[in-house]
Structure 1
Amino acid sequence: MQPRLSSDMLVGALIRRTESGGGHAMVLAKGDRTAGAIVIACSEKGRIHKLVERAPAMNGGWELIQCGPQDIDNQSEIQDYIDRRRGRDPDLWVIELDIAEAERFAAETIC
């Protein structure tokens, strides 16, 4: 089994990288420090436009897959999705990245 970085280390790196790139990052929900799943709320100018989740890839690495509601215009559906996921998985991290190309920032940092 290959060693891996803990979730809190990955989240910390993602926050620092986003802020050093001129963006803003916020922990919306703190999960398990060691192995909690990570969902990224990609936003620009305070409006979430996509949810992605870090998931194991077929090649043994990691990838970001889209998750949550497809109707991003309804911001309350996004919060409902996050609340349901946290209800089923209290170890889940939810991080909002407010920066241009948030998904790229996340992929380059935690995948």
Structure 2
Amino acid sequence: MAERLPAQLEAAALVRRAEAEGGFGTILKRGDNDRGALILLIARRGNHSACLERTLATNGEYRWQIVGPAEGADASALADWSQKRVRFDEDLWLIELDIPHPERFIAETTSQG
């Protein structure tokens, strides 16, 4: 099984990555510092593009997959979905990334695993 960074370090790195690409990142909800699940809310200029969640694949590798409300979902739908996820898993991290090229970020992130 692939080793992974503590969740708090990975969350901080994702925020820095968004900022390095000319965007903005913020941690909406802090989870367990070491093993909390990570969910990314990806947007461009406030318009929702996708939600990504890091999951453990059957081969033991961590991968990002698209989950949650579809592209273009409104803030209310995102808030409802996010609140349900937090109620289900209090240890998860919600990270919002508003970036200039979300399509490229999503493609690069989901193909890396």
TM-score range, shorter chain: 0.7 to 0.9
Show the counterpart of 1:65.
Answer: 65
> Equivalents in 1 of 2:14, 2:74: separation in Å?
26
The letter of the residue matching 2:13 is A
Show the counterpart of 2:106.
Answer: 103
The letter of the residue matching 1:41 is L
Q: Cα offset for 1:15?
A: 1.0
Aligned residues: 109
Question: What are structure 2's unaligned runs of at least 5 residues?
Answer: none
Is residue 2:39 matched to residue 1:36?
no
Show the counterpart of 1:48.
Answer: 48
Is residue 2:21 matched to residue 1:21?
yes
Root mean square deviation of aligned Cα: 2.1
> Equivalents in 2 of 1:38, 1:69: separation in Å?
16
Identity across aligned pairs (percent)? Answer: 32
The letter of the residue matching 1:27 is I
Q: Cα offset for 1:60?
A: 2.4
TM-score normalised over the length of structure 2: 0.83
> Equivalents in 2 of 1:3, 1:85: separation in Å?
25
Paired residue secondary structure (1:16):
helix
Do the aligned partners of residues 75 and 62 (structure 1) sit closer, same or farther apart at CA in structure 2, a change above 3 Å counting? same
> Equivalents in 2 of 1:51, 1:61: separation in Å?
20
Q: Cα offset for 1:70?
A: 3.3
Please identify, of 54-63 and 16-25, the stretch whose mean Cα deviation from structure 2 is larger: 54-63
Paired residue secondary structure (1:11):
helix
> Equivalents in 1 of 2:45, 2:2: separation in Å?
38
